[in-house]
Amino acid sequence: MESQGTCADEANILCQMVYGHVIYEVGKIAIEMGVFETLSEGGATCQSLAEKFSMSEVHLEKLLNSLCALKLLKKTKTKENDIYENMQVASEYLVMDSPESIVGVIKMSEHFKVDKKKMMECLKNGEHILSNEENIFNKMEHNEVACTNFHTAMESIAKTSYSLIKAIDFGQYKTLVDLGGSTGTIARQLAEDYPELDITVLDLPEVIDLASTLPANSNNRVKFVSGDIFKDDLPEADIYTLCHILLDWNDSSCDIILSKIYKHLKPGGAILILDSILNEDKVGPLYLNIREMMLFTRFQGKQRSFSEFENLLAKNGFTNIKLYRANKFCLYDGILARKN
């Protein structure tokens, strides 16, 4: 018989099933209010926070205590008052100006709420069901706000991969192309770390237009080029990076992308895939299993195990395939492969 979890584990799982939607709203409200931003400057009492936010202490205290129970805040009792402070995880990931903030992802998740009726339909017929109106890429093409929100979220996700990127030596390469590189978050970091590396971001025209408006791109040496991975020739490079791309596409579409990269990659060059990787038995990490339930109602793609990535890469000519696991919180793992 399989060993059972502890009572506390079971209670947490059942609580998330019953109250998961409330947990999301509690965190989102705290972000919108500026709780974590305020506490990043130092601890505060419920009374002082109530005054700052023009709110009653009665229910604000309940919100703060809930955030403590979620281990996002901590409460310290003194003789006079209770003092609330950010836990490290809140300071690192839930403060907008933090280098590793995921606030953009949390805000964007509002747009990816799962339609239960559609999920049931997908489960019954085994297909991905996606109308043109629901396709996020079509939305971005025709909706400037949707485009901005999506790429703000992508910037937040990309920031979590900095520690992973720093584990890889890019000094051996002369040219790098970041395919679907959004507004240049990873490219700018690489440009800072490797001053001699020639870096290009290729993405759709509406994304490149958005990138050109960002102050962060006004004074850096990253080049931004409009293009469609499926329709256009790719700029040649010694290394290509693909961040949060392949999970959106089925195997046939991934074959098109990888074969084009192999064709334009210089001999001895490499491809770095930043993507989330399932355990080999397809159970865990938990957030990937949950996200995959959203993926098949929104995109063509799926979450993959390392062996599935190996098969895709080997089929398209790549060798020396290596896995890099993040050593801290990160929404990605890394896979590096080479062209002989």
Question: Which is higher by pLDDT, 286 or 128?
Answer: 286
Q: What is the pLDDT of residue 143?
A: 65
User: What's the total number of domains in the chain?
Assistant: 2
How distant, in Å, are the alpha carbons of 72, 74, 317 from that of 50? 19, 17, 61
Q: What is the pLDDT of residue 230?
A: 95
Q: What is the pLDDT of residue 64?
A: 98
User: Which of 47-56, 212-221, 230-239 is predicted with the least confidence, judged by mean pLDDT?
Assistant: 212-221
Q: What percent of the chain has pLDDT over 70?
A: 91
The model's confidence at residue 69, banded by pLDDT at 50, 70 and 90, is very high
Chain-wide mean pLDDT for the chain? 89
Tokens 């700018």 locate to: 188
Q: What is the pLDDT of residue 104?
A: 83
pTM of the model: 0.83
Tens of pLDDT, residues 20-34 = 889 999 999 999 999
Q: What is the pLDDT of residue 1?
A: 45
The model's confidence at residue 53, banded by pLDDT at 50, 70 and 90, is very high
Q: What is the pLDDT of residue 154?
A: 74
Residue ending a domain, among 97, 125, 159, is 97
Please indicate, yes or no, if residue 323 is contained in any of the structural domains.
Answer: yes
CATH number at residue 236: 3.40.50.150
Residue ending a domain, among 37, 66, 97, is 97
Q: What average pLDDT does this structure show over 197-216?
A: 92
Measured distance CA(210)–CA(151) in Å, rounded: 9
Question: Which is higher by pLDDT, 202 or 121?
Answer: 202
Domain of 297, in residue numbers: 106-338
Task: Compute the 3-state secondary structure of the chain and give helix, strand, coil in percent, each to the nearest 5.
Answer: 50, 20, 35
Residues 37 and 183 both lie in one domain: no
Q: What is the pLDDT of residue 79?
A: 87
Q: What average pLDDT does this structure show over 3-29?
A: 83
Residues 322 and 175 both lie in one domain: yes
Please indicate, yes or no, if residue 1 is contained in any of the structural domains.
Answer: no
Measured distance CA(178)–CA(194) in Å, rounded: 15
Tens of pLDDT, residues 241-292 = 999 899 989 999 999 999 999 999 999 999 999 998 999 999 999 888 988 8
Buried b (16+ CB within 10 A) or exposed e, 120-130: eebeeeeeeeb
Q: What is the pLDDT of residue 147?
A: 67
Q: Where are the alpha helices (DSSP H) in 40-115?
A: 46-53, 57-69, 88-93, 103-108
Q: Would you tell me how many other CB atoms lie within 10 Å of the CB of residue 303? A: 19
Residues 180 and 288 both lie in one domain: yes
Tens of pLDDT, residues 80-115 = 899 999 999 999 999 988 888 888 888 877 767 777
Q: What average pLDDT does this structure show over 161-165?
A: 82
The model's confidence at residue 59, banded by pLDDT at 50, 70 and 90, is very high
Q: What average pLDDT does this structure show over 311-326?
A: 95
Please indicate, yes or no, if residue 2 is contained in any of the structural domains.
Answer: no
Residues 90 and 128 both lie in one domain: no
The model's confidence at residue 195, banded by pLDDT at 50, 70 and 90, is very high
